[in-house]
Amino acid sequence: MSAVGAAAGAGVAVLERYEPVIGIEVHCQLKTASKMFCSCSTEYDGAPPNTHVCPVCLGLPGALPVINRRAVEHVLATGLAIEATNPATTRWDRKNYFYPDLPKGYQISQYDLPLAAHGRLAFETSTGPFTVGIRRAHLEEDTAKLVHVTTADGRTVSLVDFNRSGAPLMEIVTEPDIRTAEQARRYAEELQLLLRAIGVSDADMERGQLRVEANVSLRPRGAETFGTRVEVKNMNSFRSVERAIAFEIERQAAALDAGETLTQDTRGWDDTRGVTYVMRSKEDSQDYRYFPEPDLPPLRLDPAWLAEIRARLPELPAARRARYQAALGLSAYDATVLVNEPRAIELFEALVGAGIEPKRASNWVTGEYLRLLRRFSTADAAWLEPSRLGRELAELIRLQAADQITATNAKEVFEAHFETGQAIAAIIAARGFTKISDEAMLEGTVDQVLAANPSAVADVRAGKPQAIGFLVGQVMKATRGQANAALVGEVLRRRLGGQGG
Ligand code: ADP
Ligand code: MG
Ligand code: ZN
């Protein structure tokens, strides 16, 4: 049984006695061309070690940092998107500590004047809407990467790759508002969606672009003060976030029940074993001796600059979901599915822009389109570019709405187009799907079916309505599913009515 399953089972009794308190810290790699304080490129993914470096990001004495404007704009944009406040003036601070991945002996970060503070993020959970307060979002630089390897002669050595050193990093810290593992997972998911929507980060968890840490403590139900918290790291997926927190709640409850005192540890999540383990003890919090960075000037945030950044913000996921429901009449479920996939949004907007009724457009996008997107590796093909695909699909939807092609055939045509890029009209012509609403042709087939099924015809005349269904089915069969079923029914009734007088 998984940790989530185990926690869900045993959790009820635990949750009657204890209230979990959870706060989330997220480190997010910002999408910029160059690093935070130098002009080295951030395109170091897959590059040989130590090829994207300069005196600034190697921490050589005397090298001077320069602020990356785009990185600042990304944090300001995030702040606006989470309804945070911005200080009139901000600055950078040195966070002093020693570690081999930090050659300067300090990290340039922000301490008491973060670029954004007092924000919030609202999202849906299985038990209803929930809002998490966000304490702050600030800008800092990433560290280098340590690589531990075993040499040919069996020694274990640690190598340093400075490519990541000095890359821009945004830290987002919530208030301790979260009460369940699911709320924590949903917060991280919604934050990822938001960061991607505003274009500040690719926020891929598996690639370390979105690193989630959870602070978890328990307090007896009704207590005011928080219990001792544990910080959990190394969760590489949303599922791990939920499982790790669920595990930690159970573990802490068992310890408290046994009369143990919890220590303020940093723990890691072992996804395979489904447990957290002690990484380091954090009994007395480290003193980083923060002080203002003397090599950088304070930064004044011009209101006009902020207004520009606000004007550039796209429609945010929450607003889009709300609009799709209120203005376009979609269900909450459909709106969520669409907004979760940028390509689905684009295709849906293209269809609605082409005059397709929103519910019909949404059905095609959330159904067939997303199914095919998952199934085919052609997903990057030029003909799948949303506005182009939208034009083709709109044509197909119109034919179906006008009863010129059946739903089954339309799906077949769309799949063929998705796979090959062949024009919708060409596929329909090649497969002979164009004549299905040709009444003259249907009358011919209907007459053949009537002649071949005299007993069914007799049943209809005797007033058995099921027999009509049987005859429609025979016509559909004769036309390989291409007949417009409603029209077949009409023709049949007309023919039988005429004959029956
Ligand atoms: P640090 O700087 O050591 O990481 P912070 O005070 O900034 O500590 O808090 C980090 C995170 O932990 C925040 O998200 C905060 O909401 C959360 N937090 C603080 N106290 C608790 C607690 N007792 N239980 C759970 N989470 C907590
Ligand atoms: Mg922390
Ligand atoms: Zn550099």
- For 360-375, the DSSP string reads HHHHHIIIIIHHHHHH
- 3-class SS at 124? strand
Judged by average pLDDT, the poorest of 187-196, 239-248, 396-405 is 396-405
Interhelix angle 332-339/342-353, rounded to 10 degrees, is 110
Average pLDDT rounded to a whole number, residues 459-483: 84
Q: Is the CB of 274 under 6 A from ligand 1?
A: no
What pLDDT is attached to residue 7?
45
| Phi, psi of 268, rounded to the nearest 5 degrees | -105, 155
Parse the chain into domains and list their residue ranges: 3-300, 315-431, 439-495
What is the Å distance from ligand 1's center to 190 Cα?
20
Give percent of the chain above pLDDT 70.
95
State pLDDT tens for residues 62-119: 999 999 999 999 999 999 999 999 999 999 999 999 999 999 999 999 999 999 999 9
Q: Which is more confidently placed, 466 or 112? A: 112
pLDDT band at 444 (very low <50, low <70, confident <90, very high): confident
Q: Is the CB of 117 under 6 A from ligand 1?
A: no
Question: Ligand 1: which atom is nearest the Cα of residue 25?
Answer: 14
Q: Is the CB of 174 under 6 A from ligand 1?
A: yes
Closest CA to 100 of 45, 165, 43, 155: 165
Closest CA to 389 of 423, 363, 412: 423
- 291-292, strands of its sheet edge to edge: 106-109, 93-96, 291-292
* Ligand in nearest proximity to the CA of 288: 1
What pLDDT is attached to residue 124?
94
What is the Å distance from ligand 3's center to 52 Cα?
7
The two structure tokens encoding residue 438: 């040709």
Closest CA to 202 of 327, 376, 42: 42
Compute the CA torsion angle 334, 339, 344, 349 (nearest 10 deg): 90
Q: Whose CA is nearest to atom 2 of ligand 1?
A: 285
Q: Is the CB of 214 under 6 A from ligand 1?
A: no
What is the Å distance from ligand 1's center to 215 Cα?
6
Q: Which is more confidently placed, 236 or 376? A: 236
Q: Which residue has the tokens 């500590």?
A: 97
Question: Ligand 1: which atom is nearest the Cα of residue 231?
Answer: 12
pLDDT band at 169 (very low <50, low <70, confident <90, very high): very high
Q: Is the CB of 19 under 6 A from ligand 1?
A: no
CA dihedral (260, 262, 265, 266) positive or negative: positive
Q: Say how far apart CA 216 and CA 9 lie, in whole Å.
A: 20
| pLDDT for 8 beyond 80 | no
Q: Is the CB of 28 under 6 A from ligand 1?
A: no
Residue count (the chain) = 501
Q: Which of 110, 174, 175, 229 to mutate to test the pocket of ligand 1 (most atoms within 8 A of CB)?
A: 229
Domain 439-495, architecture per CATH = Orthogonal Bundle (1.10)
State pLDDT tens for residues 337-396: 999 999 999 999 999 999 999 999 999 999 999 999 988 866 678 999 999 999 999 999
Average pLDDT rounded to a whole number, residues 32-47: 97
Quote the Cα angle for 63-66-69, to 5°. Answer: 160
Q: Is the CB of 11 under 6 A from ligand 1?
A: no
Q: Say how far apart CA 44 and CA 21 lie, in whole Å.
A: 38
Closest CA to 140 of 350, 5, 293, 281: 293
Q: Which is more confidently placed, 268 or 433? A: 268
The two structure tokens encoding residue 74: 């990304």
State pLDDT tens for residues 254-297: 999 999 999 999 999 999 999 999 998 765 567 899 999 999 99
Closest CA to 459 of 491, 500, 419, 420: 500
What pLDDT is attached to residue 287?
86
229 DSSP 8-state letter: -
pLDDT band at 499 (very low <50, low <70, confident <90, very high): very low
What is the Å distance from ligand 3's center to 27 Cα?
20
Q: Say how far apart CA 168 and CA 285 lie, in whole Å.
A: 25
Q: Say how far apart CA 469 and CA 449 lie, in whole Å.
A: 13
pLDDT band at 498 (very low <50, low <70, confident <90, very high): low
State pLDDT tens for residues 119-162: 999 999 999 999 999 999 999 999 999 999 999 999 999 999 99
Q: Is the CB of 268 under 6 A from ligand 1?
A: no
State pLDDT tens for residues 297-315: 999 999 999 999 999 999 9
Question: Ligand 1: which atom is nearest the Cα of residue 215?
Answer: 26
Q: Is the CB of 411 under 6 A from ligand 1?
A: no
